[in-house]
Chains A and B, each alone.
Chain A
Amino acid sequence: MLSTYAYPEFPYVPSEEQRTGRRVRHPVVVVGAGPVGLTAALDCAHHGVPVVVLDDNSTVSVGSRAVCYAKRPLEIWDRLGCAQRLLDKGVIWKNGKVFRHDRLIYQFDLLPEDGHRMPAFINLQQYYLEEYLIDHAHGFDDRVDLRWKHQVADITPAGDHVRLTVETPDGFFDMEADWAIACDGARSDIREALDLPFAGQAFQDRFLITDVVMKADFPAERWFWFDPPFHRGQSVLLHMQADNVWRIDFQLGMEADPEQEKRPERVIPRLKRMLGEDTAFDLEWVSVYQFACRRLEDFRHGRVLFAGDAAHQVSPFGARGANTGIQDVDNLIWKLALVLRGQAPERLLDSYSEERVLAARENLLTSTRSTDFISPKSTVSRAFRDATLDLAEHLPFARPLVNSGRLSRPTPYTGSSLNTADTEPFTGAPPPGTNAADAPVTAEGAPDWLLRHLGDRFVALLFLGEETAPPPDHTGTMAALAAQDVPIHVVTVGRRAGDLVDGAGLAHERYDATAGTTVLVRPDQVIAGRWRGPDPARLATARDRAIARA
């Protein structure tokens, strides 16, 4: 089908429970093996929670879907041990250019500073992402049970569990789960079965999404055109992907006929107008999309937890779809693991909805604004849009108003019930509810990264400044934290000595840290609280608050 990629075919394996007809209760069932469901399964395995993944299909994502993955999801996949292969295969980029007609009017750099392990973005076809996640999951065969051609037909809440009715090539059977995670995409059957409204806005404009194989000398940057000479009156977006495949999106307007527009006789001349008659290229995939921005009101419904496109759908201009879905499960799985172990109350899972609805709200707002700028819906809206572009080329003030998509960034959980508010002043550092900043460090004499020492568990970063050891009166009690039921592991970070040595001083700078500064980091690498001195009692209280048992 594709010239650069062969779709893997995963075998349907009849399950023991269907064959014997003996109903089994599983701790966690994930519905859907897209990027979000697969990441959820990997995170479960990482936390030692056995997980069954059901997918109605038997291969990876078909056709042109996600391309751009942001720094934060890459950090999450790094925590799960599978980022390197994505980095190796993907196209790393951080610069964007915005053109009007044939002139550059504005450019941006998404990560202007050094000292982060992960780049601002990589581009990679969604099928590679899914294939690599599946390969990685095969390394956890004892904990991740991937079942292909298993379509969930119904779900019924039943007190302390849910019942799933599943259809396979061998017919229907029922299974039970303590918790179900619905990662079954934008057309979620689980959402339908529970009759939950998916409210928002649908956009009329149509977009032609092409994947083109060619040798081209465009740089690894995001290029966006308003009204280019080769596609008058509309916009065009260009991205480099792996294997010399290029993603080119053409805005078509509201009147376009999707069936006509998909035909090669229409697509090839469009591409030639852009690339020139002499550029040789092959069409890899063509589709026509309309976009929508909508979400569930609440991401937790009893023992069913919604994540990814099943919970929220956005237009793709900020590459926010998969990126935010990955952050959903990053937020969810450690909480679920604690609840399953009886170490945190179930209401900790309400904070999943609380925090991720906040993120979805921001993503929807931002994506809707971008879509409104790119396809103005009224004469006046278009006049303001064009005026902004007129001005932006010459006058810097108008550039921040030009909106060709605001690229995915993590949403801080400001005001989350899990945060412990600052009681001492900090400036210019990520506050509680924000994801922890990375920095280059040295660990056991070798170059390393701060983030690799955070995550999966509660960590207290204890900064030493120029000191070489923590204050002696605290060493014993701090160590005792690691022995509690939900342990807090202390990691010391000093300019000259410590578990992590911050020779360049970037870690101290990024956390606004001085000797004694202590930062409590959640298992999803989100800051729970911070103080100017190490105080075991305050750390334990903040940890309890962060797991909703305070």
Chain B
Amino acid sequence: MPLTIQPNLPDPDGFYERLIALHRDLDLAGSRRVNARLILLLANHIGDPEVLDEAMRLALDPAAPRTHAR
């Protein structure tokens, strides 16, 4: 299954608000930890190595050619 790059969040503004709120009481180091944990949790949920590799490539360079995304 290719990486979804089309909008897929039912309530984007609500999600964004909760994401920022997650960090409200954290210092910078704490936030980095939480972000890293969040990535690992979501990566495990996704599982598919092709999707994860494509996501990592696009995170590094959002303009990179898309080989496995839709």
Q: Which residues of A contact B (CB under 8 A)?
A: 366, 369, 372-373, 376, 378-381, 384, 388, 390-391, 393-397, 399-401, 403, 406
Report B1-24 CB contacts with A as 1/0, cut-off 8 Å.
000111111001101110110010
Question: Which residues of B sit under 8 angstroms from A393, Cβ to Cβ?
Answer: 62-63
CA distance A401 to B9 in the complex (A): 9
Q: Is the CB of A394 within 8 A of B63?
A: yes
Question: Which residues of B sit under 8 angstroms from A395, Cβ to Cβ?
Answer: 5, 58, 62, 69
B26 interface contact, C-beta 8 A? yes
Question: Which residues of A sit under 8 angstroms from B13, Cβ to Cβ?
Answer: 366, 369, 401, 403, 406
Q: Which residue of B lies closest to A379 (CB)?
A: B28
Residue in B16, B28, B35 whose Cβ sees the most chain A Cβ within 10 Å: B16
- Contact of A403 (CB < 8 Å), options: B7, B16, B23, B28: B16
Question: Which residues of B sit under 8 angstroms from A384, Cβ to Cβ?
Answer: 16, 19-20
CA distance A391 to B19 in the complex (A): 17
Question: Which residues of A sit under 8 angstroms from B26, Cβ to Cβ?
Answer: 380
Q: Is the CB of B16 within 8 A of A378?
A: no
- Contact of B23 (CB < 8 Å), options: A366, A378, A388, A390: A378
CA distance A482 to B13 in the complex (A): 45
CA distance A403 to B12 in the complex (A): 10
Q: Which residue of A lies closest to B15 (CB)?
A: A401
Q: Given A381-B20, A396-B5: A401 and B63 within 8 A (CB)?
A: no
- Contact of A401 (CB < 8 Å), options: B16, B23, B28: B16
Question: Which residues of A sit under 8 angstroms from B44, Cβ to Cβ?
Answer: none
Q: Which residues of B contact A (CB under 8 A)?
A: 4-9, 12-13, 15-17, 19-20, 23, 26, 28, 31, 35, 58, 62-63, 69
Q: Is the CB of B7 within 8 A of A400?
A: yes
Q: Is the CB of B16 within 8 A of A391?
A: no
CA distance A395 to B8 in the complex (A): 12
Q: Given A378-B23, A380-B31: A400 and B62 within 8 A (CB)?
A: no
Q: Which 3 A-B pairs have the closest CB atoms?
A: A400-B12, A394-B62, A380-B31
17 contacts between A and B (CB under 8 A): A369-B17, A372-B17, A380-B28, A381-B23, A384-B16, A384-B20, A388-B16, A390-B62, A393-B62, A393-B63, A397-B6, A397-B7, A397-B8, A397-B9, A400-B7, A400-B12, A406-B13
Q: Is the CB of B31 within 8 A of A399?
A: no
Question: Which residues of B sit under 8 angstroms from A391, Cβ to Cβ?
Answer: 58, 62
Question: Which residues of A sit under 8 angstroms from B12, Cβ to Cβ?
Answer: 400-401
Q: Is the CB of B7 within 8 A of A399?
A: yes
CA distance A366 to B17 in the complex (A): 10
Q: Is the CB of B6 within 8 A of A373?
A: no
Question: Which residues of B sit under 8 angstroms from A373, Cβ to Cβ?
Answer: 16
Given contacts A379-B31, A380-B31, 4 further A-B contacts (CB under 8 A): A394-B62, A395-B69, A397-B7, A406-B13
Q: Is the CB of A396 within 8 A of B23?
A: no
Q: Which residue of B lies closest to A406 (CB)?
A: B13
Q: Is the CB of A380 within 8 A of B23?
A: yes
Q: Given A396-B5, A403-B13, A406-B13: A372 and B62 within 8 A (CB)?
A: no
What's the minimum C-beta distance from A461 to chain B, rounded to whole angstroms?
32
Q: Is the CB of A397 within 8 A of B5?
A: yes
CA distance A396 to B28 in the complex (A): 29
Question: Which residues of A sit under 8 angstroms from B35, Cβ to Cβ?
Answer: 380
What's the minimum C-beta distance from A481 to chain B, rounded to whole angstroms?
41
Question: Which residues of A sit under 8 angstroms from B28, Cβ to Cβ?
Answer: 379-380
What's the minimum C-beta distance from A163 to chain B, rounded to whole angstroms?
44
Question: Which residues of A sit under 8 angstroms from B63, Cβ to Cβ?
Answer: 393-394
CA distance A373 to B17 in the complex (A): 9
Q: Is the CB of A400 within 8 A of B9?
A: yes
Q: Is the CB of B16 within 8 A of A396?
A: no
Q: Which residue of A lies closest to B62 (CB)?
A: A394
CA distance A378 to B5 in the complex (A): 27
Question: Which residues of B sit under 8 angstroms from A379, Cβ to Cβ?
Answer: 28, 31
Question: Which residues of B sit under 8 angstroms from A378, Cβ to Cβ?
Answer: 23
Question: Which residues of A sit under 8 angstroms from B6, Cβ to Cβ?
Answer: 396-397
Q: Which residue of A lies closest to B11 (CB)?
A: A400
CA distance A379 to B24 in the complex (A): 11
CA distance A394 to B66 in the complex (A): 10
What's the minimum C-beta distance from B44 to chain A, rounded to whole angstroms?
20
Q: Is the CB of A369 within 8 A of B7?
A: no
Question: Which residues of A sit under 8 angstroms from B7, Cβ to Cβ?
Answer: 396-397, 399-400
Question: Which residues of B sit under 8 angstroms from A388, Cβ to Cβ?
Answer: 16
CA distance A378 to B69 in the complex (A): 32
CA distance A372 to B7 in the complex (A): 21
Question: Which residues of A sit under 8 angstroms from B58, Cβ to Cβ?
Answer: 391, 394-395
Q: Is the CB of B62 within 8 A of A369?
A: no
CA distance A400 to B31 in the complex (A): 24
Q: Which residue of A lies closest to B19 (CB)?
A: A384
What's the minimum C-beta distance from A379 to chain B, rounded to whole angstroms?
6
CA distance A400 to B35 in the complex (A): 21
What's the minimum C-beta distance from A347 to chain B, rounded to whole angstroms?
33
CA distance A397 to B23 in the complex (A): 23
What's the minimum C-beta distance from A367 to chain B, rounded to whole angstroms?
11
What's the minimum C-beta distance from B23 to chain A, rounded to whole angstroms?
5
What's the minimum C-beta distance from A205 to chain B, rounded to whole angstroms?
16
CA distance A379 to B30 in the complex (A): 12
Question: Which residues of A sit under 8 angstroms from B4, Cβ to Cβ?
Answer: 397
